[in-house]
Amino acid sequence: MPDNAKALLLALLGKPSVNGEDNESAIAMYICEYLKANGIDAICEWVAPGRANVIAVIEGRDTSQTVIWNGHLDTVPYGDLNVWLSPPDQPLVLADRVVARGSSDMKSGLAVMIYTLVQMHQKGIQPAYNLLFLATCDEERGGMGAMHFCEQHGMDNVQHLLIAEPTGCQLGIAQKGCLWLDLSIQGSTSHGAYPEKGVNALDIGIAIHQHLKQAFEADQHALLGHSTVTLTKLNGGIAANMVPDQCEMSLDIRLTPAYQSAQVCATLEAFINHEIKVLYPDASVFWQIVNDRMAIGLAETHALYHQYQAIQAKVSKLDVNAENNTANAKAENAAKENNNHKWMAPVGVRYFTDASVLIKSNPEIPVLLYGPGRAALAHQPNEALYWSDFERALAFYEAVYQMTLQF
């Protein structure tokens, strides 16, 4: 078994867990055995064939309160292997970083949490509250692992969630929701020279897309920007000289906390009934929800955010060498202080996390994100993790493990 944090990360990166392609339960079983070998009770809970969650509970001094540390086991596919520096399931260790699929999103976050739990347990340090470590499967798609956890265990007495998604060692306090829609549109064909005799299904699909864009892209969130309605798939047409009678399309809608998916669905249905059917009475539009994740936000004034921010500030100061007064050291410290200001700023993330599933029944549960990976590197060829971010995150989670809840 790995005896240090980097070795643990490399072991996780060497276990492929591409969603829908690899056996996600293999990495789940490895983590479970690693925790057990280091004296922590853990279970590997089967969700579906080839898929499992890992659950471990460290009992706190106050057993009435529970904080969940969450991360996901799966990764996205590799993409074009020809553009990778090395095989993506074989970590390439460089002086400043490691390159592999899942290095940023989010096996580095998993490694930080797991190693912190083991180190604190071996030192005999008990958290102030129950700490529940939850590694979930299928986060990158349907959230099957998080749904299974909620169904089997519920979220009673959970004070808040801390998720090690890639935030570049900044505190994430807002995340966009996600609504994926598939639409099937039936019109009628005609000769391209007489388009008025047909019903153009592609025109209807584009009109729906434009209407939703106008309805939901007007808001502006300080950390997330505006909501987006993106046309990601569009299929239709028979020949260059024929009006298309069918259209299949998909929309990827990312919502700020200003909107809920129900509002989008109601707007879509109203547009179909009051606009499309009036203009094209013989047309039909069928649609379905493929994925529905709620948006999440925590106010910058929230006491929990301030408590975590204080820990972040303490960790940032560890980077500065106050005892060395040479000119080079002073210049280096000044640069680090500038970076610390950047790290102290909260961030919002445009991707969804398992929090959207875990707190669905109780949206008032606060959620914070903090991970060593960088979102800009996630899902990319040559995805990487910088060792400096990894070390900073280890210090952060060790401090979080020992904190008391003050809100």
Convert the pLDDT of each residue in 129-187 to its tens digit.
999 999 999 999 889 999 999 999 999 899 999 999 999 999 999 999 999 999 999 99
Which has the minimum average pLDDT: 31-45, 55-69, 324-338? 324-338
Return the closest-CA partner of residue 280 out of 335, 333, 384, 207: 207
In this structure, the answer to whether residues 161 and 36 fall within a common structural domain is: yes
In this structure, the answer to whether residues 169 and 188 fall within a common structural domain is: no
In this structure, the answer to whether residues 24 and 170 fall within a common structural domain is: yes
pLDDT tens, residue by residue, 69-99:
999 999 999 999 999 999 999 999 999 999 9
Does residue 205 lie within any of the structural domains?
yes
pLDDT above 90 (res 223): yes
> What is the sign, positive or negative, of the torsion defined by CA atoms of 99, 9, 6, 165?
positive
Cβ atoms 177, 353 nearer than 8 A: no
In this structure, the answer to whether residues 10 and 126 fall within a common structural domain is: yes
In this structure, the answer to whether residues 103 and 134 fall within a common structural domain is: yes
Does residue 406 lie within any of the structural domains?
no
In this structure, the answer to whether residues 182 and 171 fall within a common structural domain is: no
In this structure, the answer to whether residues 157 and 171 fall within a common structural domain is: yes
pLDDT tens, residue by residue, 253-295:
999 999 999 999 999 999 999 999 999 999 999 999 999 999 9
Q: Which of 259, 291, 323 is the last residue of a domain?
A: 291
Does residue 94 lie within any of the structural domains?
yes
Q: Which of 243, 275, 291 is the last residue of a domain?
A: 291
Residue 13 maps to which CATH number?
3.40.630.10
CA distances from 305 to 49, 169, 338, 357 (A): 38, 14, 21, 21
Hunting for tokens 């401090």 — which residue is that? 399
Per-residue model confidence (pLDDT) at position 23: 86
The three state secondary structure string of 258-275 is CCCHHHHHHHHHHHHHHH
Residue 278 maps to which CATH number?
3.30.70.360
Does residue 393 lie within any of the structural domains?
yes
Q: Which of 271, 291, 311 is the last residue of a domain?
A: 291
In this structure, the answer to whether residues 232 and 101 fall within a common structural domain is: no
What is the extent of the structural domain holding 266? 177-291
Does residue 88 lie within any of the structural domains?
yes
In this structure, the answer to whether residues 263 and 304 fall within a common structural domain is: no
Helix (H) or strand (E) holding 257: none
Per-residue model confidence (pLDDT) at position 322: 47
